[in-house]
Amino acid sequence: MVTKDYYKIIGVSKDATQEEVKKAYRKLARKWHPDINPGNKEAEQKFKEIAEAYDVIGDEEKRKLYDEFGEEGLQAGFDAEKAREYRQWSSFQQQERRAGGQEFGRYQSYEDIFGDLFGFGGRAAGFRTTRAARGRDVEHEMTIDLISALRGFQTELSMQMPKECPGCRGSGTDPSSRMTPCPTCGGSGRLNVAEGPMHFTKPCPQCHGHGKIGKPCAQCGGSGQVVGTERIKVVIPPGVKEGSKIRVAGKGEPGLNGGQPGDLYLVIRVKPHPLLKREGNDLYMEVPITVREAMAGGTITIPTVDGLVKLKVPPKSQSGQTLKLKGKGATKVKSKKRGDLMVKLVVKVPQTDDREILEGAEKMDRHYKEDVRARIRL
């Protein structure tokens, strides 16, 4: 169920084009940006909601998942294909029930359906089975600076992670112990949970569906898992932004009964930069210039993510005027396209009491065609 209407937050219709979404976002971002509303907690929260909404519907792939599945489709490890399979199965079962049928198709019972769909495997209470089951996905936050996020990098992480117990290979039972029929289920491995026209069963909670029990593994205490330290190589692609998720395949929780391990998802947190700010894939930076450079124009050198570049300042530039460096912004991770660097000129006057400078400034005042504050009205 969708709990947040991202289209309503951005103020566009569901059939709006990506360009319309981007335009609406920029307008709202300028209005609610914390720099424009210093100390305003309401504006800060509003800006975060707008950024969250744009992160989803401003991205074509995320937008498709959101339109089809709502917020659930944005969760780490969500399998769209399995979700669609379940919808088809559910529709088929409704038709079967109308016709008097009670078949589960390739599933033995309702818990097998949900275990296969959502990857419960052996982890959900009461749903452990003897079948191989994929391990759960794991999320960890990773904080990086803005420049590293823009350039991308490779690193190595040391993490405490659950692993399959080497003593029992994930079964939780001492392999050398004598196995006896489970007294709870009589060796069948399953228990009835409902009687009637539709017969439901669940795995036995004592033997976990195996039908036999033995002595718990001393190495893992019967859990089937142990905690160990693992060093993981991670590649952070250029252009990741706040909230991006980096998938590291096979580094989640171990599988059950020989099943595949889950994946590790690194949730990126980006620290603010003193000079650069990011909006979408565009970067914004203020650059000081002298009075002479503003009046006469010239070429200045400024830093960018790619290194130093030359920027031409037009004659008669005004303080606050913005110049664009095309293709010098952030990289969009999927398309590899780059945004622009927006350079805001800030004219700096010299801090001096020199008589000659002050007389020159006085002469300069004569060249203003009108009162510079003539149009300021409240």
- Residue 331 inside a domain? The answer is yes
More confident position, 153 or 106: 153
> Is residue 247 assigned to a domain?
yes
Cβ-based neighbours of 94, under 8 Å, separated by 6 or more: none
Of residues 127 and 12, which shows the higher confidence score? 12
| pLDDT single digits (tens) 276-289 | 999 999 999 999 99
Clarify whether residues 290 and 340 are in a common domain.
yes
Whether residue 60 is predicted with pLDDT greater than 60 in this model: the reply is: yes
Asked, for residue 75, whether it belongs to a domain, the answer is yes
> Does residue 296 lie within any of the structural domains?
yes
Q: Let me know whether 247 and 335 are in one domain.
A: no
Judge whether 284 lies within some domain.
yes
Mean pLDDT of 310-320: 96
Nearest 5°: phi and psi at 217? -65, 130
CATH number of the domain within which 164 lies: 2.60.260.20
Lowest-confidence region among 125-134, 252-261, 334-343: 125-134
Looking at the fold, whether 337 and 356 belong to one and the same domain comes out as yes
Question: What's residue 269's pLDDT?
Answer: 94
Q: Are residues 261 and 227 in the same domain?
A: yes
Q: Taking a C-beta distance cutoff of 8 angstroms, is the pair 163, 227 a contact?
A: yes
Same domain (yes/no): 95, 150: no
User: Is the whole model's pTM more than 0.85, yes or no?
Assistant: no
The residue count for the chain: 378
The amino acid that residue 265 corresponds to is Y
Beta strands in 175-293 (DSSP E): 180-181, 190-194, 200-203, 212-213, 225-236, 245-248, 264-271, 276-279, 282-290
pLDDT at residue 213 tops 90: no
Phi, then psi, of 362 in degrees rounded to 5: -65, -40
- Amino acid 13 reads S
CATH number at residue 90: 1.10.287.110
Number of domains in the chain: 3
17 and 33, same domain (yes or no) = yes
Domain check: are 45 and 166 in the same one? no
For residues 148 and 108, state if they share a domain: no
Asked if residue 150 and residue 108 are part of one domain, the reply reads: no
Q: Per-residue confidence at 92, pLDDT binned at 50, 70, 90?
A: low
Instruction: Report which of residues 103 and 338 the model is more confident about.
Output: 338
* 42 phi and psi angles, rounded to 5 deg: -65, -40
Same domain, 20 and 105: yes
Note down the domain range covering 281.
276-365
User: Would residue 185 count as lying in a domain?
Assistant: no
pLDDT at residue number 203: 76
d(CA 313, CA 299): 6
187 within a domain of the structure (yes/no): no
Asked if residue 195 has pLDDT above 60, the reply is no
Looking at the domain assignment, is residue 236 inside a domain?
yes
For residue 366, pLDDT over 70 is answered with yes
Same domain? For 242 and 344 the reply is no
- Token pair 């805001």 is at which residue? 344
Specify whether 260 is located in the same domain as 295. Answer: no
Q: Is the pLDDT of residue 125 over 50?
A: no
